[in-house]
Amino acid sequence: MRSFLVFGVLTFAMTFCGLGDKLKSLSGESGTNTGTSSNSGPSSNSKSGSSSVTTEKPTLSGPQQSILDSAQETAWADQGVSWKLPAGWKKMDVKKEMFNYQSPDNAFLLVNVSAMPDDFPMDTSLKAYYDQAMQQLKNGKYESAKVVEIDGVPGVEFTEAAPEEKDGIRRHQWIGYRTYLGQKQQLNVMTSTSQSKFDKHKDEFQAILYSAKFTK
């Protein structure tokens, strides 16, 4: 069951309503992705660069801040990133480009880093994700959507609307871009669980996402 759920949410993250294929054309299908390393930070050209998009700073409610106050920092050394995770969250699988943790009752933090070609237009891509998210919000597929700059890295944050099925998977996601050790990267951070447990974990999901720290 766990492997099926992880496969499902990762597939959603990669497809994102077909937007991934559209973004490939922005870079002219160029370049072969290379490996990643550590000890750098986001560059200034990862900004959305669009006057029509308002970039917000993370804000936490009192309960969300309380979650972070008692959470434990968990580092991803390969990518120079860390999060604060609540007690009981355990490692599922951590690799060079993948960071997956799980709560005791099957809520998930699923992170994927994708290396992009040197000529990949990060600003344009971020704006495309934003436009797509706003369309999904208008269509009632998303409960919320906005651009949030987390520790200097801007990204599109969105929360899916409740699925029709009681135990359908519901996701809270953030997709951003940075330049890390000279390499352009897409950061895809997803938290998810079944609809029946989503409200229970909603504050945790927000707190985990906004706790991210990127090595400068």
* Predicted local distance difference test score (pLDDT) of residue 109: 98
| Residue 210 binned pLDDT confidence (cut-offs 50, 70, 90) | very high
Burial class from Cβ neighbours inside 10 Å (0-12, 13-18, 19+) for residue 52 reads exposed
Q: How would DSSP label each residue in the chain?
A: -HHHHHHHHHHHHHHGGGHHHHHHHHTTT---------S----GGGS---TTSPEEPP---HHHHHHHHT-EEEEETTTTEEEEE-TT-EEEEE-SSEEEEE-TTS-EEEEEEEE--TT--HHHHHHHHHHHHHHHHHTTSEEEEEEEEETTEEEEEEEEPPPSSTT-EEEEEEEEEEEETTEEEEEEEEEEEEHHHHHHHHHHHHHHHHT-EE--
C-alpha angle 17-137-15 in degrees, rounded to nearest 5: 15
Q: Are strands 55-56 and 142-150 parallel, antiparallel or unpaired?
A: parallel
- 19-74: pLDDT as tens digits: 444 444 444 433 333 333 323 333 333 343 444 689 999 999 999 999 999 999 99
- 125-136: pLDDT as tens digits: 999 999 999 999
The mean predicted confidence, pLDDT, of the chain is 83
What is the pTM for the complete model shown?
A: 0.79
The CA–CA distances, whole Å, from 203 to 13, 61, 68, 107 equal 21, 8, 10, 12
The fraction of the chain above a pLDDT of 70, given in percent, is: 76
* Predicted local distance difference test score (pLDDT) of residue 52: 65
Q: Where is pLDDT greater, at 103 or 3? A: 103
C-alpha angle 112-116-121 in degrees, rounded to nearest 5: 120
Set out the domains of the chain in order of their start, with CATH numbers: 2-214 (3.40.1000.10)
